[in-house]
Amino acid sequence: MNTAGWRALLLLLLLLGGCAGPDTRDAGSDGPPSSDRGRIGSQPTPRQEPLSRYGNHSPYTVLGKTYRVLPSSNGYDQRGNASWYGRKFHGRKTSSGEVYDMYQFTAAHRELPLPSYVEVTNLRNGRQVTVRVNDRGPFHDERIIDLSYAAAKQLDMLGSGTAPVRVRALTSPQGTTTLAAAGGFRPWLQIGAWKDRDRAREIHLLLRRSGLSSMVSRFESAREVFWRVRSGPYRNDDEQAQAIRRIQQLGLGRPQPITLP
């Protein structure tokens, strides 16, 4: 099927699925505005926000592939390809229910909680931009983030349509909003995820020697394999709070409460 055929099919799927569901658009350079003079907004400042009512359901399935929303943006740091979307989707609803404004610094991501804030670096030229993630996509294995027109212009990637980037999560002074915080007590703690299996194993053994239950699990994202270390389950808030303090004393940072599927 040619590109026009795929776009027509994906648009039909989106209409059938409703505006609040994940956006199955063909994420890419669909065209800049004729003029943006005086219309581009300011880059956002990370702040703590409640999770969006829409777009955080996990797991969810698009075009036969299942995705899971991360319990938190904390520690997210990935490299891959970025694309962008412009006037074709300007004024339409995003997966979070907000209206897409191509002149604002926003982005779509498959796994980060909505909303999240990330710093995107164009690895070709070193230019950086801060964006607020409020949409789902891009649903292409070779891409990890879909940027608004304003963000793509800041990174000087409008002409190429895609660019190799680094995507790093940013936190507000008040911390991050997590799925755990929205969902009440969750019996497991996620310590972190590492590409190096041996490093994940070292963390696992450190936790066990400290008297904390732990396990290592394999996770594949954007064609990369990570090894996640989790501790639990915990029976109540007090027991979990004690474990969090102990994990921080070990120099492992603050773990994120999660519920395993």
C-alpha 44: how far from chain center: 16
Task: Give every CB contact of residue 7 below 8 A, 6+ residues apart in sequence.
Answer: 25, 26
Select the highest-mean-pLDDT range: 1-5, 33-37, 40-44, 219-223: 40-44
Determine the Cα–Cα distance for residues 171 and 164; give it in Å rounded to an integer. Answer: 23
What are the tokens at 85?
Answer: 């979307």
CATH superfamily name and code, 184-258: Sporulation related repeat (3.30.70.1070)
What are the tokens at 195?
Answer: 């590409």
Question: Is the pLDDT reported for residue 258 higher than 60?
Answer: yes
Q: What is the pLDDT of residues 93-123, one digit of tens each?
A: 999 999 999 999 999 999 999 999 999 999 9
Q: What is the pLDDT of residues 156-214, one digit of tens each?
A: 999 899 999 999 998 755 455 555 444 445 688 889 888 899 999 999 999 999 999 99
Q: What is the mean pLDDT of residues 43-66?
A: 88
C-alpha torsion sign, points 57, 200, 227, 48: positive
Q: What is the mean pLDDT of residues 244-249?
A: 91
The per-residue pLDDT for 204 is: 94
* Contact between 237 and 169 (Cβ < 8 Å): no
Confidence of residue 261 (pLDDT cuts 50, 70, 90): low
What are the tokens at 154?
Answer: 């800041």
The per-residue pLDDT for 117 is: 94
One-character DSSP codes across 66-108:
EE---S--TT-EEEEEEEEE-GGGTTSB-TTSPBP-TTS-EEE
What residue spans define the domains of the chain? Answer: 13-170, 184-258
What are the tokens at 97?
Answer: 């229910």
The per-residue pLDDT for 232 is: 86
Beta bridge partners of 79: 166
Q: What is the mean pLDDT of residues 40-49?
A: 88
Residue 93's nearest CA partner among 28, 7, 21 is: 21
Question: Is the pLDDT reported for residue 89 higher than 70?
Answer: yes
42-45: long-range contacts, CB 8 A cutoff, minimum separation 24: 42/105, 43/105, 43/129, 43/130, 43/131, 43/154, 44/105, 44/117, 44/130, 44/131, 44/132, 45/130
Burial (0-12, 13-18, 19+ Cβ within 10 Å), 1: exposed
Neighbours of 26 (CB within 10 A): 20
Of the chain, the percentage scoring pLDDT greater than 90 comes to 45
C-alpha torsion sign, points 172, 178, 184, 188: negative
Question: Is the pLDDT reported for residue 252 higher than 80?
Answer: yes
Q: Please give the sequence-ordered ranges of beta strands (E in DSSP) within 86-162, or none if there are none.
A: 106-108, 116-122, 128-135, 145-148
Select the highest-mean-pLDDT range: 85-89, 150-154, 179-183, 185-189: 150-154
Architecture in CATH of 13-170: Beta Barrel (2.40)
The per-residue pLDDT for 10 is: 46
The per-residue pLDDT for 225 is: 85
The per-residue pLDDT for 185 is: 56
With left for phi above 0 and alpha for psi between -120 and 50, is residue 118 left, alpha or beta? beta
Average pLDDT of the chain is 81
Neighbours of 186 (CB within 10 A): 21
3-class DSSP state of 210: coil
